[in-house]
A and B are shown apart, each in its own frame.
Chain A
Amino acid sequence: DVQLLESGGGLVQPGGSLRLSCTASGFTFSTYSMAWVRQAPGKGLEWVSAIGPGGVDTYYVDSVKGRFTISRDNSKSTVYLQLDSLRAEDTAVYYCAKEYGAHPNNWLDTWGQGILVTVSS
């Protein structure tokens, strides 16, 4: 079975940092693009970032550019999202998702269960 397991969430103060991890299993990780999507409490989905199979091509929503960094380690089947300069409005459940195919910005065919990030003093 294809599975994605997120970790690294928690409570952080405004201006602080967190690193989210997503470990994949059940598919050839190095041949697929991966993405992060978030959902603020009681709100809709917001696409955050994506990364190509080789880790070179990266994409971000405007609201996180310069603050969040996506990366991956194909030897560990893991994708990361480094969250810096966090703001209250970054509070959300963060989902890791597998893209369909190698090209980033495809539909998301597998999702993790999500991890909560709370930014509060």
Chain B
Amino acid sequence: DVQMTQSPSTLSASVGDRVTITCRASQSISSWLAWYQQKPGKPPKVLIYKASSLESGVSSRFSGSGFGTEFTLTISSLQPDDFATYYCQHHNGDNAFGGGTKVEIK
């Protein structure tokens, strides 16, 4: 089974910061990776699929990159609405999620 590992688990940042979250797969998953945002008490929301495709309606300050075993989610300029927990998921396979990265206010 493919294991997904995210880092860091917690990230403290300020409004306007550029933020990068990393997700590593235990074996190659090609581009089969999605990123989700979850706020407390709410269901997750997909941001990125196939590693770098932006979901319709999602702000362009979110971008994804990577292939194989290493992937990144970048928020170009952190906004107040972006403080949340982010998860990666290997789709088209084991469907495993990463452990999550909580983005906190610094």
A105-B94 Cα distance, complex, nearest whole Å: 8
A111 in contact with B45 given A46-B97, A47-B97 (CB within 8 Å): yes
A105 in contact with B44 given A44-B87, A45-B87 (CB within 8 Å): no
A107 in contact with B87 given A44-B100, A45-B44 (CB within 8 Å): no
- Chain B, range 31-54, C-beta contacts under 8 Å to A: 34, 36, 38, 42-46, 49-50
Contact A113–B100 (Cβ < 8 Å): no
Judge whether B3 is part of the interface by a CB distance below 8 angstroms.
no
Contact A100–B49 (Cβ < 8 Å): yes
B-contact bits for A26-41, CB 8 A (1 contact / 0 none): 0000000001010000
Q: Which of A47, A50, A113 contacts B43 (CB 8 A)?
A: A113
B100 to chain A, nearest CB (A): 4
A108-B91 Cα distance, complex, nearest whole Å: 9
A44 in contact with B99 given A107-B34, A109-B55 (CB within 8 Å): yes
Interfacial chain A residues near B11, Cβ < 8 Å: none
A97-B34 Cα distance, complex, nearest whole Å: 14
B79 to chain A, nearest CB (A): 22
B23 to chain A, nearest CB (A): 13
For residue A113, which residue of chain B has the nearest CB? B43
Interfacial chain A residues near B19, Cβ < 8 Å: none
- Chain B residues within CB distance 8 Å of chain A: 1, 34, 36, 38, 42-46, 49-50, 55, 87, 89, 91-100
- Chain A residues within CB distance 8 Å of chain B: 35, 37, 44-47, 50, 59, 61-62, 95, 97, 100, 103, 105-109, 111-114
